[in-house]
Chain A
Amino acid sequence: MSIVLSAVQYLGYVLIFPGFLFCFLAGLLLCGIDRKMVAKMQKRVGPPVLQPFYDFFKLCGKETIVPAAASSKTVFLMAPLVGLAALVVLQLFIPIFQFTAFSGMADIIVILYLLLIPALATILGGAASGSPYAGVGLSREMVTIISCELPLVLILLAVGKVVGSASGTGLTFSFSAIMAYQAEHGSLILKASMIPAAVAMLMVIPGETGNHPFDAAEAETEICEGLLAEYSGPPLGVYKLSHAIKMLTLTSLFVALFLGGIGSGIEKLVLLCGLSGAAAGAVTVILGAIVLFLLCVVLTVVCISFAHAVTARLKIEQIFKFYWTAVSGLALISLVLAWYGL
């Protein structure tokens, strides 16, 4: 009986709460808020906040065309789904303050690998489409991945070092240790040595999601949307959905790494209200999810919408140079400071 119950519970995790349904709603809403904010910053009225939902459902109703030049129909059509699945799994592993759907099963290294899969899926799908535009987009996407990966690894190392040296293990990659540290000592962003890493992480987010000004791989005005040039209908919709979820995933990763201390505040608030037991747990999780989403909105506006509104698209070598000098430099400063125990 308990096996059935826990199976239902895990199915609920995967399909509903930190899993698919939550990602779908929160991701697309986040994308809509981003588009609205960009419009406001450009003194436009902008699309309705629900516009990404309309876009997604419209694409579901369109014809799917598989180009005659496609080398593999299966890869072409399955690649978007693989990318989406990887992102939903990723969201399951990122803690919502103290709550994790699958606790103790994954650490930061798994997050790094899972973050690569959606990008690799777009590359595979684009390569299978046989379009020369996708070929150009593919090489640019690879460079973008390599650019973002180094600063991201450095940031995670810096965080791991701070948390690890506090607990005496040296270097930790465990999410539960990071959350426990922040619940005890307050959010990591409050530490002086972590501020450069947090700033670097803010710069990594638009690069990882492929937003302006780092969208050379999907430049619609010069290479016809690059990797997505041949996609139409539902597969394109799934790519758009993945892009929206990626914004949610990366901003919630930022919250988990640097703002995790807010979780203990929520717990205290729930205790103050006089709740206890299972009810307190449920309320904490729901409040946590709401606070997480609001923080994600703020982060999206700061690092995605604002960057979109004020910058023009960078060339691919400029993206590479920016990430491997400025952003990696910031992350490295944090790592060195963390190593000296600051």
Chain B
Amino acid sequence: MFKKLIAESTAKSPWLFHINAGSCNGCDIELVSVLTPRYDAERLGFKLAGSPRHADIVVVTGPVTTQSLPRVLRAISQVPEPRCIVTMGSCPQSGNVFRGSYSVAGPLSKYVHVDVDVAGCAPKPEAVIDGLALATKILKEKREAK
């Protein structure tokens, strides 16, 4: 019963850690707008955590530049299990307009397992909330599988 309680709670209390991997700032602003009164993702328990150690979901924005890649991987490895990785915007998914640039190391899925991709440039807040809600389901499954 206690295990079930923890699994239920895991789906209801996802804390986000946001990593900017060379983003143009567009997605960063859209992610913050998700927490504003208009969309209010805190309804679903979402909270921006200050430290990767507190997070359940890592949100990566930007095309993952060669400079940011080691830092991104290090920050992701500091997030305790069970964790979910969500890419936000087209950049970490495909490279977007930066694809093929000498300074871009992405896409992110070449280096770590990505659970949810939210495409768009920048994605609408509704799409972001939808992607994060999907990530909470995956988190719950990961917790139950433990």
Q: Which of A41-70 contact B (CB under 8 A)?
A: 42-48, 51, 53-58, 60-65
Task: Indicate whether A47 sits within 8 Å of B45 (C-beta atoms), given known contacts A63-B80, A233-B80.
Answer: yes
The answer to the question of A236 belonging to the interface, with a C-beta cut-off of 8 Å to chain B, is yes
Question: Which residues of chain B come closer than 8 Å to A220, judged between CB atoms?
Answer: 48-51
The answer to the question of B134 belonging to the interface, with a C-beta cut-off of 8 Å to chain A, is no
Once the chains are docked, how many angstroms separate the CA of A2 from the CA of B5? 39
Question: Which residues of chain A come closer than 8 Å to B44, judged between CB atoms?
Answer: 47
Task: Indicate whether A228 sits within 8 Å of B51 (C-beta atoms), given known contacts A58-B56, A63-B81.
Answer: yes
Question: What total of chain B residues lie within 8 Å of the partner, measured CB to CB?
Answer: 27
The answer to the question of A231 belonging to the interface, with a C-beta cut-off of 8 Å to chain B, is yes
Once the chains are docked, how many angstroms separate the CA of A64 from the CA of B53? 9
Once the chains are docked, how many angstroms separate the CA of A43 from the CA of B56? 27
Question: Which residues of chain A come closer than 8 Å to B99, judged between CB atoms?
Answer: none
Once the chains are docked, how many angstroms separate the CA of A35 from the CA of B43? 11
The answer to the question of A229 belonging to the interface, with a C-beta cut-off of 8 Å to chain B, is yes
A contact residues, range: 35 or more
0/1 string, B24-68, CB within 8 A of A gives 1? 000000000000010010111100111101101000000000000
The answer to the question of A103 belonging to the interface, with a C-beta cut-off of 8 Å to chain B, is no
Task: Indicate whether A57 sits within 8 Å of B6 (C-beta atoms), given known contacts A39-B42, A220-B50.
Answer: yes
Chain A CB within 10 A, most for which of B50, B53, B143: B53
Given A57-B9, A220-B51, A231-B54, 4 further pairs, Cβ under 8 A: A54-B9, A55-B9, A61-B10, A225-B50
Binding site for A on B (CB under 8 A): 5-10, 12-13, 37, 40, 42-45, 48-51, 53-54, 56, 78, 80-82, 143, 146
Binding site for B on A (CB under 8 A): 35, 39, 42-48, 51, 53-58, 60-65, 133, 219-221, 223-225, 228-233, 236
Pull 28 A–B residue pairs with CB atoms less than 8 Å apart, ordered by A. A35-B42, A39-B40, A42-B37, A44-B37, A45-B40, A47-B42, A54-B8, A54-B12, A55-B13, A55-B45, A57-B8, A58-B6, A58-B56, A61-B7, A61-B9, A61-B10, A62-B56, A62-B80, A62-B81, A219-B50, A220-B48, A220-B49, A220-B50, A221-B50, A224-B50, A225-B49, A229-B50, A232-B80
